[in-house]
A and B are shown apart, each in its own frame.
Chain A
Amino acid sequence: MNNVTYLFLRRMRVPLVLVIILYMISVFGMAIMPGVDAEGNATPGMGLFNAFYVISYTATTIGFGELPVPYSTAQRMWMTVSIYLTVTGWSYAVVTVVGLLQEPAFQNALRTGRYTRRIRNLREPFYIVCGVGETGTLVCRGLDRLGLRFVVIDSDPSRIEQIKLEGWHADPPTVTADASQPTNLTGAGLLSPYCRGVMALAVDDATNRAIAVTARLLRPSLPVMARVGEANTDLNMGAFGGDMVTNPFERFSTYLALAVARPERYRMGQILTGFPGDELPEPHHPPRGHWIMCGYGRFGHGVREALTKAGNEVTVIDKMHFGEPGVDIEGTGTDSGSLMKAGIEHSVGIVAGNASDLKNLAIALVARDLKPDIFIVTRQNQVSNAILFEAFRDDLCMQPSRIVAREFLALITTPLLARFRYEIRGASEKWSAELTEALAHLNGGFVPELWGVTIDAEHANAVVDAIKEEQWVNIGHLLVDPYDHDQPANALVLMVARGDGGEILPSTGYQLEVGDQLLLASSPDARRRLELAMNNPSVLHYVRTGREGGGGWIWHQMRAVKRLWIKSRIRHTIDH
């Protein structure tokens, strides 16, 4: 029995006891009330059973009338009393039930029971998204677009309401609870075998840390991604063994520096973590030279450091932090005076990096007024302001929430991607440009799908069988369109991971082994075809040899005999 039943039964005790007592009084009284027969002679009472029958139909307001014979006056008097007694009893019970249904505690118990049941019945892979602010909502939309299920947990009921109002393909179970409490996380399905990952995107770092620790301890092998704003939390989290932690401020400034200093690598990274089916990001070519940085908070520190490292000269404008080392000019940047003082005439670029969108837009407008050809980078904080930023047409607009959302999505749905990015961390601009070019062609001008596959009996049945029969399968075989052998598939193998080693961008001759993990980029269509080739022996035979293979047992046997015959003939020829 669950909480709801207990709560209900407990509250129904008094009304039910009352109803029983009122019934008892009515039935006993009715049983002994003297009756009257057709001639007007007094008769003894109608007895217990008949009384119970009469009271039953009276109390439930069915009212069959005077049974078994017309009543005496005494019986009618008692009947009147009984009607009022029993109806009062029932009404009280009903009112109690209604009151119980409206009680917040009871409704809470009902809700808990409902979502627990829904999550228990979720029989397909799902993710837990803790915290649905701006970033969390973006992550949910991304998961929904990828056709993945997720459970939402947030302590703020209004946010949960907002999530419920969105048009999802499959309605996500929602939990209104504090995710930092382990019981709430397990209630949201953390221990379910179908749970594929946890994303901690709550407002404060402490909650996210608690979520990461809970998930790490209860499900050690589950991927956990946590967003943390504090600079030194990264190290703390590291103690829990390989958690993937994203510091939005640091990540954002790294990206910005990358965008300015290494535009090709930045673009490649954007494609790798982009939502499949989105338009490809446009290439940017930010200039080098003197830059102006407006706003010197946590984000500003990172940007300044990154820009300086990339060989640029940076002048920082800030009002609140003026006087701290690193701030050159006091001002907001929204007036021409401070921008002039910072030397905007000879600057090549400006970064508007305040936490307020309107302030950033004001800075950008003033800067464009003063120097029309200046490269403008704006930080967009709220998704709802996107329309303003689009109208402004800046050179580069970065949204922290979008960056974190994409990163979380890409890494948690494709855990191999984290390893791939680590392996290519020092990639050159030329290499990045080439890979970007290759990726851009895969999905007809849109961001390709990134997916991982393990060569095992479950995911690549045919490949495993072929390898066991010593018919080698190469990377090149997989990159052939299984519908037409002469066409290449719209796919690219980015990495093969074999144990701790592996190969980045393996050549077509690279032989696969059982247990290999492949990271691929492809169009959604090519993914379906590839999965077909890896699981259907006939299709795999076709992509390997270019010949249609018969599926039946007889044809297999006949082909084996033919092979033997050819072999013996070759041996015969050699012998002679």
Chain B
Amino acid sequence: MNSEKVVFGFFITLAATLNFGFWLGEMDRPDLHNVWELAAAIVVSLIATVLKFGDRTQLGAVHLATSLVADVQLIAGAIIWSWEAQTAGGITPSGIALVVSMSGGALLANLISVVLMISEIITARR
């Protein structure tokens, strides 16, 4: 068992699951999307990115790229949410829809990471 792989696998999966939890639910209903879940997803995704720093393998580079995409999408979503939250009317349905679609994009990147990780495990078994 490789502890580096366990740690990375844990964080990449956690990033995907947290993000999935935030994304789940009707898009334009702010009460179905908890901002704390988004914040946790950002933190976990950042850690997953840092864990791939300095990996010279081909797969490591792709992992770094996908998790950087997830970071960018999630942070963009967080900025939009912060902006929406401080306006007078609170969070509007269209605003939260934008945040959720951002997290949806990040979810896609997370899923690619997970698929890559699984494929790596499969090739290692063979």
Contacts and interface: CB of A to CB of B under 8 A. Distances in A.
Interface of A: 6-13, 16-17, 20-21, 23-24, 27-28, 47-49
Chain A interface SS verdict (over half):
helix
Contacts of A8: 54
5 contacts: A6-B54, A6-B56, A20-B46, A23-B43, A24-B39
A20 B43 contact: yes
Interface of B: 35-36, 39-40, 43, 46-47, 50-51, 53-56, 82, 85-86
Contacts of B35: 48
A28 B51 contact: no
Chain B interface SS verdict (over half):
helix
A49 B47 contact: no
Nearest to B38: A48
A312 to B, nearest CB: 68
B82 A20 contact: no
Given A20-B43, A48-B35, A13 B56 contact: no
A353 B86 CA distance: 93
B51 A13 contact: yes
A280 B43 CA distance: 78
Nearest to B42: A24
A193 B82 CA distance: 57
Contacts of A49: 82, 85-86
A174 B33 CA distance: 61
Given A47-B85, A48-B35, A49-B82, A16 B50 contact: yes
Contact of B47 (A10, A11, A21): A21
Q: Which of A8, A17, A27, A47 has most B Cβ within 10 Å?
A: A17
Contacts of B50: 12-13, 16-17, 20
Nearest to B61: A1
A7 B85 contact: no
Given A21-B47, A48-B82, A13 B39 contact: no
Contacts of A6: 54, 56
A27 B46 CA distance: 15
Nearest to A25: B43
A24 B55 CA distance: 25
A10 B54 contact: yes
A146 to B, nearest CB: 43
A9 B85 contact: no
Given A48-B35, A48-B39, A49-B85, A16 B54 contact: no
A13 B53 contact: yes
A414 B59 CA distance: 52
A235 to B, nearest CB: 45
Given A24-B43, A28-B39, A13 B54 contact: yes
A8 B86 CA distance: 39
A20 B40 CA distance: 11
Contacts of A17: 47, 50-51
Given A49-B82, A49-B85, A49-B86, A9 B54 contact: yes
A6 B55 CA distance: 7
Contacts of B39: 24, 27-28, 48
B26 to A, nearest CB: 22
Contacts of A16: 50, 53
A48 B39 CA distance: 8
A17 B67 CA distance: 14
A12 B51 CA distance: 9
Nearest to A7: B54
Contacts of A20: 43, 46-47, 50
Contacts of B46: 20
Contacts of B51: 13, 17
B104 to A, nearest CB: 20
A9 B56 CA distance: 11
A56 B36 CA distance: 18
A28 B40 CA distance: 9
A12 B54 CA distance: 9
A9 B82 CA distance: 31
A16 B36 CA distance: 22
B55 to A, nearest CB: 8
A10 B53 contact: yes
Given A47-B85, A49-B86, A11 B54 contact: yes
Given A20-B43, A20-B46, A21-B47, A12 B53 contact: yes
A442 B54 CA distance: 62
A9 B43 contact: no
Nearest to A16: B50
A7 to B, nearest CB: 7
B79 to A, nearest CB: 9
